[in-house]
Structure 1
Amino acid sequence: MGLLDLAAGRPTPTPHEQALAHAANGVAIYWRPGCPFTARLRLTLRPLRKRARWVNIWEDDAGRAFVASVNDGNETVPTVVIDGIPHTNPDPSIVKAALTR
């Protein structure tokens, strides 16, 4: 769980929790700095990248655990969740199509 939202008295969702909620009917992208495959994806999505939720797995333990859980224990990025389905290093055109529909 995230930090306590003092105004509402409930936990604030973590970036991972927010991303999964967004990806139920959209796109969430799990990444890490220095990954050339993520850089390629970012360049391809340049005008559309704000439509996706981005989670840096080096800054979000729950996101890192999620990526490992869908990649046989490996922290393979980018892992992209489209409409609730995880894809490991998908072709950028697939992600672009999901973001433009």
Structure 2
Amino acid sequence: MTAESLPSNHDIVAVHCGALGALLIDQGCFDEAERLLRRAEPMLNRIGGDHSHTWSSVQRDLVRLYERWLAEAPRADLSDRLAAAQVALSQD
């Protein structure tokens, strides 16, 4: 199976892996993030183009993932993380 033959669900999984990798990096878990991102990199590089129909569902899922992560963050960091999330979402 090649990257070009993967179904669109794999696009969503790849983007989640990328998002989780970014969150792990933010938390300082560099070894875990590197393993995850290396595994997802071939799929992440392929996303886009003729797979644009998946982007709206991917974006909704990423927002839910980030909101859940914010909810589980230590309370002292919550306002900073919420502000960062709002800035990131406003740039899209």
* TM-score normalized by the length of structure 1: 0.27
Bigger proportion of residues as helix:
2
Bigger proportion of residues as strand:
1
Higher Cα radius of gyration:
2
